[in-house]
Amino acid sequence: MQAVVIHAPHDLRLEDRPLPVPGPGEVLVRVRAGGICGSDLHYYHNAGFGTVRIREPMVLGHEAAGEIAALGEGVTGLALGQRVAINPSRPVGDDEYIREGMRQHAMDMRFNGSAMRIPHEQGFFREAVAVPAAQAVPVPDGTPFEVAACAEPLAVALHAVRQAGSLTGKRVLVTGAGAIGCLVILAARHAGAAEIIATDIADPALVTAAKVGADVTLNTAADAGALDRFKADKGRVHVAFECSGAGAVLASLLDVVRPRGTIVAVGLGRDVTLPIAPIVTKELVIRGTFRFDAEFAWAADLLGSGRIDVTPLLSAQIPAARAVEAFELATDRARAVKVHLTF
């Protein structure tokens, strides 16, 4: 079978790999669509990010959907030909975090398409993959594969929104309107936000943000004072989601979030120094958010039922044989939000 394998920066190859055989408790999934994520682009352009580096060839991809092609021994509840979204997250063992319901913080986490471990965890950009049956989450027949493949990034957004508590009737700010920022907008609207403001430094991203439900879009590169009106009366924003990963943006949110408001740091970027005075005097809550757990099945259900519509984010579906072209397109924020490889 064919697989999309990264060897070094800009060294992306289409290679033959053995067709896997599902073991007991596993299923074989014929992958039909896989979404190119920001981490995939980091591997493609820089061989990794931070201390995580490619040290051996690795199949990329952790956002994927397909159909069941074979059932391993003992598998029930799934059927041949059934459409599924594939969960890349597999905590292993029985540590205290798993027992306390924080599976995304497991001491031993296997995450497909990740170079954090040696040997690397191979990803989903291949024609077929064998996974534990629990990782194959059904979606209704007829759900487009590229829609089902958005379950993983939508789960990230849903987990981020849950970190903020109730959004019902609240004014929400989302900084950074890339794929994750736009999915946070969709999740915040689903959670009952009354008004959603989106900021970015690129107009094409803001056009997409408006399509998925942002009430106000502001280009902070064109107007450095675009958010000044939300600083009045100690801040007018109830909850801010920082999705750009820019440290300076995170620091600026302290001025626009109202007393006892919440800032959720979604994007990973460089370290930043935060002034302590507004955090203390406004009694602000600053929370991180990391991956997801139960939200994956919830995301698959929301996508399959159409209650969350991600189609405005779907920029292109490109055959895996043209993977380099797909990665170059996904890199260009002026032309693409979410690009999928097809198999």
| SS3 state of residue 238 | strand
Instruction: Please give the pLDDT value at position 55.
Output: 97
Is the confidence at residue 151, as pLDDT, over 90? yes
Instruction: Please give the pLDDT value at position 17.
Output: 96
**pLDDT tens per residue across span 133-150:** 999 999 999 999 999 999
CA distance 40 to 124: 11
Is the confidence at residue 221, as pLDDT, over 90? yes
Q: What is the dihedral of CA 308, 312, 313, 317, to 10 degrees?
A: 110
Is the confidence at residue 80, as pLDDT, over 90? yes
Instruction: Please give the pLDDT value at position 270.
Output: 84
Instruction: Decide: 207 and 229 in contact? Cβ < 8 Å.
Output: no
CA distance 123 to 111: 8
88, 134, 129: which is closest to 110 by C-alpha? 88
CA distance 104 to 98: 8
Please give the CATH number for the structural domain made up of 2-150+310-342. 3.90.180.10
Q: How far is CA 79 from CA 4, 28, 267, in A?
A: 27, 11, 37
Instruction: Please give the pLDDT value at position 130.
Output: 98
CA distance 325 to 340: 11
Q: Please report, as a single letter, which amino acid is at residue 207.
A: V
pLDDT bin (cut points 50, 70, 90) of residue 50 is confident
Residues in the chain: 343
Percent of the chain with pLDDT over 70: 100
Beta strands at 136-138 and 171-175: parallel, antiparallel or unpaired: unpaired
Instruction: Please give the pLDDT value at position 141.
Output: 97
As a whole number, the mean pLDDT across the chain is 97
- Burial string for 223-239 (b: 16+ CB within 10 Å, else e) reads eeebbeebbeeebbbbb
Is the confidence at residue 271, as pLDDT, over 90? no
Instruction: Please give the pLDDT value at position 25.
Output: 98
Strand partners, 108: 92
Is the confidence at residue 52, as pLDDT, over 90? yes
**pLDDT tens per residue across span 56-72:** 999 999 999 999 999 99
CA distance 263 to 164: 8
Instruction: Please give the pLDDT value at position 280.
Output: 98
Structure tokens at 80: 């041949």
Structure tokens at 308: 């969350």
Please give the CATH number for the structural domain made up of 157-288. 3.40.50.720
| SS3 state of residue 115 | coil
Percent of the chain with pLDDT over 90: 98
* Average pLDDT of the segment spanning 277-293: 97
Instruction: Please give the pLDDT value at position 263.
Output: 98
**pLDDT tens per residue across span 15-33:** 999 999 999 999 999 999 9
CA distance 135 to 89: 8
Beta strands at 216-219 and 195-200: parallel, antiparallel or unpaired: parallel
325, 303, 328, 326: which is closest to 146 by C-alpha? 303
* Average pLDDT of the segment spanning 215-221: 98
**pLDDT tens per residue across span 116-132:** 999 999 999 999 999 99
Is the confidence at residue 320, as pLDDT, over 90? yes
Beta strands at 237-242 and 171-175: parallel, antiparallel or unpaired: parallel
Q: Please report, as a single letter, which amino acid is at residue 307.
A: R
What is the CA 7 to chain-centroid distance, rounded?
23
CA distance 267 to 288: 9
Structure tokens at 317: 């579906």
Is the confidence at residue 269, as pLDDT, over 90? no
Q: Indicate the domain borders of the chain.
A: 2-150+310-342, 157-288
